Structure 1
Amino acid sequence: MGGSAASPKSYFPQKAFWFSLSASLLLIITVLSVMMHLRVPQPRPQSSQIVRITVPDQTGVLINQSAVVDQKNHLVTFSVTSAANQTSTVLFDMKRGLICYKPAEHQSCFLRQMEKSDYDNVNSLLHQSTDKSQLELSGNDTQRQMEFLGVLATSQVDVSTLEEPLQALCQDRSIHWTRRAEGPGKQRLVYFCIDICFPSNICVSVCFYYLPE
């Protein structure tokens, strides 16, 4: 007799085997596609935000000031334009605990260590959850403070020892350490001041003078 046809018992296991194999291959392809999609770099949102802070000064004139907030690197950079249209820069480096002042009217940069009040003021801008690019402060409720920083002429800093944000800001200038002081006294002259306003309704006028050698 010739060969007999395959029995139903042998046909159905073969059909189930090929169906199971096809489903497994489809599952593997799907998993690999998802993994490849996850590995492709996704565009990240901008970590920097420009915020303009508006507040009238004591004479009623609006202060021209803006801040670049870099949450990823914990940096806040203020740009303050004076009435003479000269722009000074103040960089708050939260990660390293430093403030760097770059006055428009002076060919030097000045460093100082951040204090608790500095962290509190900058945190109000760095960690605020707002999409507003314009912050208007109330002139009547704004607290105004004055700080004096003494500069030692012999305290020049080697720019190569500083991290990138400070190097980029002051690469063309000499850099000096400063320390907080009670005031210059009558025998010393204040060379310049920089006014900075924070969203916490605090404006600080930071004034510099050179200490005796």
Structure 2
Amino acid sequence: MMEFSLWKKLKRRLRKRRKPLWTLGGILIMLLPLLAAPQASTAAELRMEDYNYAPASLIEALQNQHEELEVLLKKEYVCGEEFSQLGRMNVRSIIELLGKHPAWTAHLNGQAQVVMVEYIQDLSDACKQHAFMSLDKDGNLSLFDGPPAKEKVMRTFFQLDMSYMESSLPKEQVQALADGIKINDLDDYNSMLSAYSEFAVREPASRGAMKRSY
């Protein structure tokens, strides 16, 4: 492509001359200024001050990328995550996409893929269908993928003071937690954390103060 462009420029110069210089020396003389002219680099020439909305680490990682990269979108929920493909993009398109979505973050992973991350204050659809809150084997309030009997812990929150909880709550409520309480939405999730935070293991004085506040 560059050779074709140079030849077009050379022909325009030749047409302007009264006496064509169709000698090798003449052609070289005309080519010299064109060859000496700086050519556009295929590498990404990104200045951080021009893209201050993008992570500096991403700008640095993309500086020497010459090829288009695969771009993924990771939706990271309070519980669960989802991935989708956005296609292949050049470096500037990747940075401009971030500019259109200022709440997103991004990083270059080990597979030379750019992962855009969108944080969503909700539960993923899969989490809404399968999440339970219960106790793990160490007495921690935990979020499970499926019934607690399967022991697929997705997240652990805090350890519960079992003696304090059993003396404060009806046996049916304690048993329900042990069996696993289905989490259907973000309200259920937050309500469970709020309700059982009173029984989190803490200093006795702090525990008493929290008890009186309810």
* TM-score, structure 2 as length reference: 0.26
Q: Give the strand-richer structure, 1 or 2.
A: 1
Q: Whose helix fraction is larger, Structure 1's or Structure 2's?
A: 2
Larger RCO of the pair (alpha carbons < 8 Å, separation 6+) = 1
After TM superposition, the score normalised by the length of structure 1 is 0.26
